[in-house]
Chains A and B, each alone.
Chain A
Amino acid sequence: MNTTTTRLNALRGGQPPVNHNARTLVGLSVNPGCARRALLDACGADKGTVARQAGHPWQFGQSRFALARGNAFEQQVKEYGGARLLALLRESLDLPVEQVAYIPLKSVGDSTGREQRYRQTCRALVGAARGGPDPGTLYDHPMLRLNVGGNDVYLEPDLIAFKIGDRFYIVEIKSFPVIDRQANGAQVAAATRQASIYVIALQDLFATNGLDPELVATSVFLVTPKDFGNTPIATLVDARKQISMLNRQLARMDRIDILLDLLPSGLTFDLAVDTTGVPTRPAANLAADLRRIPARYRPECMAHCELAGLCRDEARQNASLDVYGQGVVDIFGGVDTTHTALALAEGRQPSDDQAGVARTLRHAERLRAALAEGAA
């Protein structure tokens, strides 16, 4: 075990590590400059529990109901060896009728170890890419691996990869409806981003095994229910833009070992669970350790990170303008906090790069005062 792994384990403490999935990696790439999140994710800490234990529980993402519906839909598309999926692929891609082989990769015998499953996935996919005697068509629940910030993370996708001709495609099953062939743009974008992570991981798998990463198609199949019903439809989405964007963001992420070097010694996310598994670490103590790692809060965090409650509080306490989003930050170029903004509005002498903003703020302050007088 190398020292980075040892240090990450110490950082996480006594709890078992949680797996990455595309959602967590997309979240990570939304805020590539945040060391706090990068470290929490790299060590496999359960951010939801950490945030709760630090006194800042944060709920985001799908409701329980939506999750249950999503799972039911996915089950329906995948059951009976992906029968529905085969029908869709035959229809939209002219998948030959002989191609029905279905390879479940969810477990290796009774074992579900990550490394073992990853090796099994490699064996199956690399074998198929090399044109084994009987290459498969659908691969359910492959275990993928990706190097993030110099650290290997396992990806546990709920999906199917499939092969037609000599190309592999990623299929992402999502339960948001497509009405009259129109889906909510934001949902499609999010689903495409997630699928792109798998494209990148699959490309990486082939490259690691001496095969051409171009074997992986850069378009992904989005399978969604049609018009609120349960009939699945497939849409081929060009994901090239998302793939290159995610690649850039992943590359921009600081190296984990460098981040680890900057940490004060003794810092840990350990929850000090008692014999019954209940965390006993005092909230203030855990929160203090979290705050010792630099974060970069922005409103997007609210939809992507379990720590958003804690980080937003912190940003508010520091009167940071980040709380109001990139738009506001851009308008206030050169001004970081609400304290500075108010001082400028009330006449404080601006620095050179604040001159433009200061004029606007003073103008706004005059209008506000005039309105207040009129109302009085």
Chain B
Amino acid sequence: MQNNEETLDELENRLAQLRRALRLAMVERDAARVAQLRQQLHRAESLWEDKAAAEQPVSAADASDASAPAPVSPDAPVSEPALAALLPTREQVHQTLSLLEVPAAPKLITAVHEAFFPGELPASRLASLRRDEERSYRSAPNARPYYLCPALTADRLAPARALLTVSTWPLERRIMGAHSPRVDFLTTATKIASALISYSQLGPRWTPDAQTRAERLLRSFAVSIPGALGPPTLAGHVPALDPDQVGDAAKAELSVHLEVDRRQRSEAATWARDRLSEAERLFGNRLASVRNSASAD
């Protein structure tokens, strides 16, 4: 199934599959499978690097994701603590952002990671990430299948404070207009709600601790969304948390803002495509020129 005839695109599909399978194996705490997938991933990555060096570099913005079960074969087991150390920080952040699908600040990334993925991801480790990613991109553009990049402000296309995104996302999603914080907040609530629903079907393989963290996180979103929580059950008691209800309430409010947000984001994205180099599109425009049409909106 793996051979040297694979094109870069096919290889990238396979990398995405392997990562997804690895994520699942980690959630299921299947140490043997994790180790084995990790090796396969490593081999595929080296293969990809060789190929990418030989061929035209692919644009980071074109790399795509696909889903299918990954090839599996038995391998030597690894110990529990080793599980946590398996993924490098950038991959942990990538898997978390892939769950959220919206720009997120380190604090949220850490909280979501704690709730849904094994291993530790302290916010302190995210501090230098953006700089490292940019350095890596600049020394060898597009050598990696994805980069972790800042979100961009709609008015200046400058790097937005603290928000991380993935280079392979559509540019629109990586741009922050005036309504985007709310839209992304509500979207995050829907993502956490559906993750909570599907993870709770994993049964005991999802640790009760992680579940509690996920519920606490969802509740912290729900309190700011109209209709997301039921009325308090008894005087002084907190209302029950129903992920379906939170998701529905968030979607209901989303429908109010989506149109205006989409318009602002796509206007800015068009502007960015016309004016900015790929590096600037990924890491932000550092010159403080203002888009007149969209300034201060």
Decide whether A and B assemble into one complex.
yes
Out of A87, A102, A109, A136, which one reaches B288, CB within 8 Å? Answer: A109
The distance in angstroms between the C-alpha atoms of A127 and B253, with both chains bound, is 26
Q: Cβ of B178 and Cβ of A102 under 8 Å apart? A: yes
- Central interface residue in B107, B153, B181, B185, by most chain A CB within 10 Å: B181
Instruction: Indicate if the CB atoms of B286 and A83 lie closer than 8 Å.
Output: no
From A84, A98, A116, A124, give the contact of B296 (CB < 8 A): A124
Whether B181 contacts A87 by the Cβ 8 Å rule is no
Of the residues A80, A100, A111, A132, contact of B179 by C-beta under 8 Å: A100
The size class of the interface chain A forms with chain B is: 20 to 34
Assess the A97–B226 pair: CB atoms within 8 A.
yes
Please state if A83 and B296 are interface contacts (CB–CB under 8 Å).
Answer: no
Interface assignment of B140: CB less than 8 Å from any CB of chain A:
no
Contact of A109 (CB < 8 Å), options: B188, B223, B287, B296: B287
Contacts between chains A and B (CB distance < 8 A), count: 83
The distance in angstroms between the C-alpha atoms of A84 and B107, with both chains bound, is 16
Number of B residues contacting the other chain (C-beta, 8 Å)?
32
> Are A98 and B256 in touch, CB under 8 angstroms?
yes
Contact between chains at B256 and A87 (CB < 8 Å): no
> Any chain B CB within 8 A of the CB of A123?
yes
**What does the 1/0 interface line of A71-95 toward B look like (CB < 8 Å)?**
0000000011111101100100000
- Closest-by-CB residue of B relative to A135 is B297
In the complex, A159→B225 CA distance in Å? 22
- Which residue of B has the minimal Cβ distance to A113? B288
- Chain B 219-257 against A: per-residue CB contact (8 Å), 1 yes, 0 no? 001011110000000000000000000000000010011
| Docked-complex contact A104 and B158, CB < 8 angstroms | no
Known: A83-B185, A102-B182, A104-B161. A97 touches B256 (CB 8 A): yes
A80 close to B223 (CB less than 8 A):
no
Q: Does B265 contact A (CB under 8 A)?
A: no
Q: A116-B288, A134-B264 are in contact. List 13 more A-B contacts (CB 8 A).
A: A80-B182, A81-B180, A81-B181, A83-B182, A84-B224, A101-B178, A103-B296, A109-B153, A109-B285, A109-B287, A110-B159, A123-B296, A132-B297
Could you list some 14 contacts between A and B, CB below 8 A?
A79-B107, A80-B221, A81-B185, A83-B221, A86-B182, A86-B224, A106-B161, A109-B156, A109-B158, A109-B285, A109-B288, A120-B296, A123-B295, A136-B178
